[in-house]
Amino acid sequence: MPLSRRMGAEFIGTFWLVFGGCGSAVLAAAFPGLGIGFVGVALAFGLTVLTMAYAIGHISGCHLNPAVSFGLWAGKRFAGKDLLPYIIAQVLGAIAAAAVLYVIATGKAGFELGGFASNGYGEHSPGGYSMLAALVAEVVLTFMFLFIILGATDERAPKGFGPIAIGLALTLIHLISIPVTNTSVNPARSTGPALFAGGWALSQLWLFWVAPIVGGILAGFVYPLVAGRKSDGE
């Protein structure tokens, strides 16, 4: 598949992830009397990945996330020469989604931007968790996310069920960590809203690039050690 088509798929897929996931948080979670709450937001993020995995998995691999691209590269599932193009497409898709969401959200009288679904720690953590807690949570949860992705897409895994496992994994990750960091595990997802929230969101953005990428790379190295090669298990 030509790189330009794969980049287009990553742009659209990441747009959908940020628009669907962050959109549920900004537009629906706090709706008076009908708010979906953080359980609904967690499910929304999982559904975006599940639906896009079936829609574009055969085109680009449906990374939607620089940490996923780095993890797949570390696991020797993705070419290093394509890392930068994929990351550019993912970040641009996230920014475009945040821009569209901003236009919609500000169309309501009395709307207050607030954190705009940004990720944060310390006083900007939903539950008041420290920078260390946020760092550990993001590294560990991204590690587990990539471990599940690598396992679910292994050629030895049952065919056709990978997107379900990956979507449910992202839902579970959000159920765990929305109170801690508002859940990133995805630098592109963090960047889009932060550009519109500005201020503290931009100053804390570094953590939501470093921690997920570290977690993703670690999983890329560890999974092959655990799973071995196809010939090892037969």
pLDDT tens per residue across span 65-89:
999 999 999 999 999 999 999 999 9
Higher-confidence residue: 232 or 128?
A: 128
Quickly name the fold that domain 3-225 has. Glycerol uptake facilitator protein (1.20.1080)
pLDDT at 226 over 50: yes
- Is 83 exposed, middle or buried (CB count within 10 Å of its CB: 0-12, 13-18, 19+)? middle
Mean pLDDT, to the nearest integer, of 5-17?
Answer: 98
For a pLDDT cut of 90, what percent of the chain falls above it? 87
pLDDT value at position 231?
47
CA distance 59 to 154: 17
Enumerate the domain spans of the chain. 3-225
* Mean model confidence pLDDT for the chain: 94
Instruction: List alpha helices for 106-161, DSSP H.
Output: 131-152
Mean pLDDT (whole number) for 194-215? 97
The stretch 104-110 carries a mean pLDDT of: 89
**Positive or negative CA dihedral for 178, 54, 216, 82?**
negative
pLDDT confidence band for 30 (50 / 70 / 90): low
Three-state secondary-structure class, residue 134: helix
pLDDT per position as a tens digit, 147-201: 999 999 999 999 889 999 999 999 999 999 999 999 999 999 999 999 999 999 9
